[in-house]
Structure 1
Amino acid sequence: MIKKGLTLAIAALLMVSSSFAQKGKTVNFTGTVKFPDTQNKYQIYLGKYEGEGFNRAFKAIDSTKLDANNNFSFKVPAEKPDFYQVRVYYMDRIDFWADKDNIHVNVRGIDTAKRIVKNPPYIYMENASRDNEVINDVNLVSYLNYQQMIAVGQEQYRAGLSKDTLWINYVKDGFDRINKEREIRIKYLVNKYKDQPTVLYALNNLSPKRDQELIMSTLDYLTKKFPDLKQARDRKKEILDGIAQAEKIANGKKAPHFAYPDVNGKNWSPKDFKGKYLIIDFWASWCGPCRQEIPHLKEVYKKYKDQGLEILAVSVDAKEADWKKAMAEERMAWPQINAKESKPVMASYLFSGIPYLVVVDKEGNIIEKNVRGESLDKKLKEIFGK
């Protein structure tokens, strides 16, 4: 009896010791920068994303500078494994899973090109276990996809200059082809790494709408295998909340309410256009495709205005001056409002990219979402008959 009691006491002590051993646990993240910031204009940050959905944002928790050999290092909290991100200056961002790996990266640093082009490089994490290999592999797929997008864009441009209709028709669906290929590769990685908590990183690259079955089955598997993996539970809740919101804005449902001011301070909302068909155009001054769509919207407005069509332009510019400047340049003839705090309306309409156009009927019900160009023309033809 004494021996049994002593054995239990020792076991309890070992458990306590193990618990204390985890407290204050850290891993090292080190890096070497090829082109340092010699003017000390920028920092190197360690941080993580906090918040949910459209309120999710990067929050720095530490910062550092290079040593004499252009190296930097962070001690990263690893008591509770989680995703972190290191930001080197203004370009390089490295996501990683802090648990047991001491990661090292080599990064470019300051862009030395005379003309800076946004084309983030692929950054390989050395010393990565299977957890962080998930991230390495996903990032390689994303990097190659980005390079293919650049190549397709250049080919489409050259095909247009050539006036060769066979070539033009061949390359016009180039983006769709490479994006389907990317999706196949990501799904392969999800199946390959489904037993790793970091498969969450791969799931973030799939569409909750198109790939819902694969995403949810993987999350169910994760939560069963790792009951303490809060990130998986949170992701599942976020997706379920998104599905519920998608049902609220399905075609035929009421367009979610919002109200923002125009340049004179007057608030406008979809309710102000009851009895009219309405196009809600979410855009921004810095969005090239948004501004490319404006001449087309002017044609649409001219064609259908007398038949009861109105447009409400909702800028998501954070800087009011940029919005006003773009308005003066574009000279749009319909009401213009500025949603400086755009996250609530983006969450209610479930979009993250712009331009995003929503067509609403005379009763304020959604007819169609995410249309522009030919798809908008087709929908308006269905409504107005010409």
Structure 2
Amino acid sequence: MMRKIFSSAYFWTVVGAVGIVAVAWVGRARYQPVVTGASAPEFTVRNLEGEPVSLSDYREKVVLLNIWATWCAPCREEMPSMQRLYESLAGTDFEILAVSVDAPLGEISANGMAGGDLAAFAESFGLTFPILHDPSGEIQRTYQTTGVPETFLVGKDGLIYRKVAGGTLWDAEANQELVRRLLGE
């Protein structure tokens, strides 16, 4: 009788389903979707001088976290509007952290893209906000991005107030109003 039960397809289907539910139940606490209203996950990447930079370095600031690449056309298109926003909010508790996921210069990434010259890119666009680098792409896994550019507006409280997949005009009135509201202006 027991042999018949253990060889039954029904038995193994039930055991498999119970196993899947158990794994999902145990893992549920570790999975935190990165959506509007969620806490922005901590990360550490490098600046162009090779020094570590973490989100926690900017506590009590409103942070526009932009994940991008030099080869990405929408990324290139939105950079000037990010610079204008940055300039318009100079002297406030606002910061832009632009994290490139390019491969290191002279190397090819896993998706076949050549590494970009981040310093030359920043200079060509006149960018004065921090340009950071994460060639491993770990920030994309941490923030569960689907591509580049993807941007997260993080309030002083560490919560995500806006998530944008794709390029946008960051100096548009609605975006400036949201940032100013988060700044308490």
Q: Tell me if both proteins adopt one fold, taking TM over 0.5 as the criterion.
A: yes
- Structure 2 SS opposite 1:327: helix
What is the identity, as a one-letter code, of the residue corresponding to 2:43? Answer: F
Contact 2:45 2:54 in 1 (8 A): yes
Return the structure number with greater helix share: 1
Distance 1:301 1:266 in 2: 22
1:266–1:373 CA distance, 2 compared to 1 (3 A): same
- CA shift at 1:271, angstroms? 1.0
- Structure 1 SS opposite 2:140: helix
- CA shift at 1:303, angstroms? 1.3
- Structure 1 SS opposite 2:99: strand
Higher relative contact order (CA 8 A, sep 6+): 2
- CA shift at 1:335, angstroms? 1.1
- CA shift at 1:320, angstroms? 3.0
- Structure 1 SS opposite 2:32: helix
- Structure 1 SS opposite 2:128: coil
Show the counterpart of 1:245.
Answer: 32
- CA shift at 1:367, angstroms? 1.2
Contact 2:63 2:97 in 1 (8 A): yes
Show the counterpart of 1:323.
Answer: 117
Q: Deviations over 1:214-258 (max 9, x none)?
A: xxxxxxxxxx9xx5xx9xx7xxx7xx97x9431xx2333321111
Show the counterpart of 2:134.
Answer: 339
Contact 2:67 2:100 in 1 (8 A): yes
Give the alignment's TM-score, normalised by structure 2. Answer: 0.68
Of 289, 297, 302, the residue aligned with 2:87 is 302
The percent of aligned pairs where both chains have the same amino acid is 25
Q: Deviations over 1:181-222 (max 9, x none)?
A: xxxxxxxxxxxxxxxxxxxxxxxxxxxxxxxxxxxxxxxxxx
1:374–1:288 CA distance, 2 compared to 1 (3 A): closer
1:269–1:376 CA distance, 2 compared to 1 (3 A): farther
Of 152, 155, 171, the residue aligned with 1:358 is 152
Distance 2:70 2:76 in 1: 7
Q: CA RMSD in A?
A: 3.0
Structure 1: gaps of 5 or more residues: 1-223
- CA shift at 1:346, angstroms? 1.1
Distance 1:375 1:331 in 2: 16
Q: Deviations over 1:322-368 (max 9, x none)?
A: 133323322310111110100x3212211121111110111322111
Show the counterpart of 1:381.
Answer: 177
Counterparts of 1:1-386 in structure 2, within 5 Å, are 244-246=31-33, 249-320=34-105, 322-324=116-118, 325-342=120-137, 344-370=138-164, 372-374=167-169, 377=172, 378-384=174-180
Distance 2:171 2:145 in 1: 17
- Structure 2 SS opposite 1:245: coil
Contact 1:357 1:369 in 2 (8 A): yes
Say which one has the larger Rg. Answer: 1
Show the counterpart of 1:92.
Answer: none
Show the counterpart of 1:135.
Answer: none
Give the alignment's TM-score, normalised by structure 1. Answer: 0.35
Show the counterpart of 1:23.
Answer: none
What is the identity, as a one-letter code, of the residue corresponding to 1:336? Answer: I
What is the identity, as a one-letter code, of the residue corresponding to 1:369? Answer: K
- CA shift at 1:376, angstroms? 7.0
Contact 1:259 1:269 in 2 (8 A): yes
Structure 2: gaps of 5 or more residues: 1-9, 107-115
- Structure 2 SS opposite 1:354: coil
